[in-house]
A = this chain, B = another copy of it.
Amino acid sequence: MSLKLDSVSTLLNEPDAAPVHSVTLFVALVSACIVIGHLLQKTRWMNQSVTALAFGLCTATVIILTTNGKISDILLFDEDLFFICLLPPIIFNAGFQVKKKQFFQNFIIINLFGVVGTLISFGIISIGISQSQGLLCYFLFGNKILIIIFMCWWSCPGFACYLARSLGAILSATDTVCTLQVLNQEDTPLLYSLVFGEGVVNDATSIVLFNAIQKFSVHVTPDTVMQFTGSFLYLFSLSTLLGIAVGLMSAYIIRKLYFGRHSTDREVALMILMAYLSYVMADLFQLSGILTVFFCGIVMSHYTWHNITESSRVTTKHTFATLSFISETFIFLYVGMDALDMEKWKIVKGSPGTSVAVSSTLLGLVLVGRAASVFSVSFLSNLANDSPIDKIGFKQQVTIWWAGLMRGAVSVALAYNKFTSSGHTQRPKNAIMITSTITIVLFSNVVFGLLTKPLVRLMLQPREESSEISSPKSSSALLPLLANGQDLASELDSVGGGISIRRPSSLTMLITKPTSTVHYYWRKFDNAVMRPIFGGGGEESPPNDILH
């Protein structure tokens, strides 16, 4: 993804409409959102995302009503602001706070979901779009836009395929924030780490996919597939390596210079700056900033965080979480406000039928694509795992499926990047794509989002109860996998220690669980080589509340 910073802030960049108004407005709205979100915490349905979305919609309505739509430019979503300011803290914090043990023990399955699942979803959505164009045309015969699209598709399949592929990539980017707010990392660590890890890898995959589609020729040949795969692997590995390198550098510098002796502010400042540095460097080298900053966060929490003073630890942990929280709230508020930007709705006003048809088709494809990817990947994963204890249960599959139904800011940002030039468009076809994306984002977040809390509770209720009475039978695949991993770790720590009765022996596990084997050697290497150089204490990520 190459950033175009030249419109860093259309939001602030509005010469006519007294721009300080909009900054004040946004800061005040985010504050209000936080207060209201706090008050609604206890309710059954609402969560922070939906609150912020609703707040944005209400504010936009008020602004439009009071100004007759004149200053609707305030409402315009700015992809650059999103990619430069709002996304990095969220992803970095994700890496910084992730429970590394679970994440790496489920590394393969997370990557299956994140990469293969996203590719399946992308394939289904884009093929579905290509096919449904003809179908829709049949139902809405006479509609000009669809005829144009259809004609394009028919006469020049490359271009239509290209459009369909772009849309497929845009709509493959899930937004799991909503579900993660409901899931509890302590209660359901495996499910949390699956949903969470998949979310990060999925974001990276869809952005890399989107950029690859823009770059390569519209005709799919074996050559382009090879090129595409190559560039994909190149981006993934180099981005990861860069993030790890910057993270290790920060650990080394802070360890060697022992900043805390003089000033805690210096070490905190250095951590924040180097985290951001990893992101902008990735963009400079045209890598995936998301992957880089995510792995930088993991390395920083594993090494750097243990080299700093006690108060810096508390500070960094909460600062990163707070920045991420503010960014998330801001994004949902922003998407909500942008949804009512009149410009694009006016363009598609003439063809409400098309809008509804396109939106509902796309929404259907999203549902189907997500289902296909989750259930097929789960099936594959369950096939590979012989022991019934490692299988992903149906309820868990449904939860993972549900978690990925929401579409969020990444989709909106990619849609703006694709279909507008600096936030504006006059072409009806592009306007429809934007409004459809927004409709899907709004619908999935509000409708699915409101249902998430009840659904997750319904799905996980039996499990929670069972975990309370500690029945190994009904706790299905969730806790056991973790418990398994933890036992394994402790077994490995005390090599040759007592083997529990109902578990296979260490050796068998090393053969059947390759991830754990890697994990075992990694721990040996980490203790022998890495920690003496880069510092670092425990395996755990920053604890949830260091002072309590």
**A→B interface (CB under 8 Å):** 2-6, 8-9, 12-15, 19-21, 23-24, 27-28, 30-31, 34-35, 37-39, 41, 84, 253, 257, 259, 262-266, 268-270, 272-274, 276-277, 280-281, 283-284, 309-312, 314-315, 318-319, 321-322, 325-326, 329, 545-548
Contact = CB atoms under 8 A, between A and B. Distances in A.
Contact of A310 (B3, B322, B547): B547
Contacts of A311: 314, 318, 545-548
B546 A262 contact: no
A28 B284 CA distance: 12
8 contacts: A24-B283, A30-B273, A31-B270, A35-B270, A38-B263, A264-B545, A265-B325, A268-B322
A315 B310 contact: no
Nearest to A250: B31
A364 to B, nearest CB: 37
Nearest first, the 4 A-B pairs at minimum CB distance are: A315-B318, A5-B19, A5-B12, A268-B322
Main DSSP-derived SS at the A contact region: helix
A269 B24 contact: no
A514 B332 CA distance: 52
Contact of A318 (B265, B276, B321): B265
A92 to B, nearest CB: 13
B8 A8 contact: yes
Looking at A5, A14, A24, A277, the one whose CB has the most chain B CB atoms below 10 A away is: A5
Contact of A23 (B5, B9, B264, B270): B5
A485 to B, nearest CB: 28
A8 B6 CA distance: 11
Contacts of A39: 257
B35 A314 contact: no
A314 B269 contact: no
Contacts of A34: 266, 269-270, 273
Contacts of A546: 311
A38 B266 contact: yes
Given A8-B12, A20-B5, A264-B545, A277 B31 contact: yes
A507 B260 CA distance: 47
Contacts of A37: 266
A172 B30 CA distance: 37
